Structure formats: C-alpha cells, structure tokens
Amino acid sequence: MEVKVGASTLELVEGDITRQDTDAVVNAANEALRPGGGVDGAIHRAGGPAIEAECRQLRGCPTGEARVTTGGNLKAGYVIHTVGPVYRDGSHREPELLASCYRESLKLASAQGIKSLAFPSISTGVYGYPIADAARIAVKTVTDYLAQHPEIERVRLVLFGRAAYEVYAQALKEL
C-alpha cells in the first residue's frame, strides 16, 4: 500500500530489505556496528566486506543515532546504520529512542542528497520491541518528517512476512 504525504510517498511492502532498489537501505544495526544477526547479518552478507570495513572506521553508533556507509554490492548506493533500543518494559525511553532512529536516518538521508530509502522494522526482532507499538511510532515519525521534507521523495517500509505487513498497514490506516 502507498500513501502521499505532501509531495512525497510512503509505501509499505512485504519483502527483503537487501533487495530494495532505493537510493539507501537502513540497517537495524548494533552499537558496535559489527555484523550481527537478522537484518544486519543479511545486509552484510549481501553487501559484502566493504560495508564492514567502513563500519569499523566509524567506531560504533549510540542507540537512537545513525551513520552512513556506501552500499557495497547492494543495489542501494548507501546503507544508513541505525541502532534501535533494546526493549525492556517501555519505560526506559524506548519510544523516544525508536522515533529518533527513524528521524536521524531521515536527516542523514536529507543531508546526503538521498531521495529514496527503505527501512526494516527496527527493534522488532532480537531487540524485542512489540511490533504494534513499533509500527505506530515508525509510521508517525516518517509521516511527520515527510510532511516537512519534500526533498525525500519516497520512504518504503519493508516488512518481513505477511503478519508484520498487516500490523504496519493497520497502524498506517489508524494514523
């Protein structure tokens, strides 16, 4: 599904983040920026060792912030690495840190002249964020940003599997 936000487009698709043809893809990274599991492992496997080498130079990334590397062998020219919060009980700034991941990634895209980017569902795998709550934060934060930043033409939220897609579609409808 797809909605217009001002001049920009917000799109939800079911798919694999490593196969997206957007200018950039976002990685659900860890603070060390070392290859891990889930999205991170998939991006490093598909993108090749150049991404890991660039990550090493960056010396980590705090939770809620974002860093950029090139895309290695991916179709996307860039990878934006952002570190989602590990979910404990929701009272440890998890909502604001998750919103910050989306916002800081988008700010970095604007600064780099990136016009389209694809996000996975940050923090909802190993980091344990309840997906319905995470989906509401993702669609709200991206929509608010696009309303103010027409230079970003397209944001694609890439959901792994039908169930995750349905949760995000519901969050977008309720917005």
The whole-angstrom separation of Cα 7 and Cα 17 is 24
Q: CB 98 → ligand ADP: shortest distance, Å?
A: 9
7-16 burial code (b ≥16 CB/10 A, e <16): ebbbebeeee
Residue 84 in the binding site for ligand ADP (CB under 6 A):
yes
Which residue among 21, 23, 40, 144 is the active-site one? 40
Give yes or no: 16 in active site: no
Query: What token pair was written down for 87?
Result: 């979910």
Q: CB 147 → ligand ADP: shortest distance, Å?
A: 25
Residue of the chain from 3, 13, 14, 38 that contacts ligand ADP (CB under 6 A)? 38
- Considering only residues 62 to 81 of the shown chain, the ones binding ligand ADP according to CB under 6 A are none
Residue of the chain from 10, 146, 164, 171 that contacts ligand ADP (CB under 6 A)? 164
Residue 39 in the binding site for ligand ADP (CB under 6 A):
yes
Residue 42 in the binding site for ligand ADP (CB under 6 A):
yes
Distances (CA, A) of 149 to 2, 123, 154: 18, 25, 11
- Considering only residues 111 to 130 of the shown chain, the ones binding ligand ADP according to CB under 6 A are 120-127
Q: CB 124 → ligand ADP: shortest distance, Å?
A: 4
Partners of 78 in the β-ladder: 24, 70
Query: What token pair was written down for 22?
Result: 């957007």
Residue 158 in the binding site for ligand ADP (CB under 6 A):
yes
The whole-angstrom separation of Cα 19 and Cα 106 is 20
Residue of the chain from 12, 25, 26, 28 that contacts ligand ADP (CB under 6 A)? 28
Partners of 81 in the β-ladder: 27, 67
The whole-angstrom separation of Cα 76 and Cα 109 is 13
The whole-angstrom separation of Cα 167 and Cα 64 is 23
3-state SS class at 35: coil
Interface residue list for ligand ADP (CB under 6 A) = 16-18, 28, 38-40, 42, 84, 120-127, 158, 160, 164
Catalytically annotated residues: 40
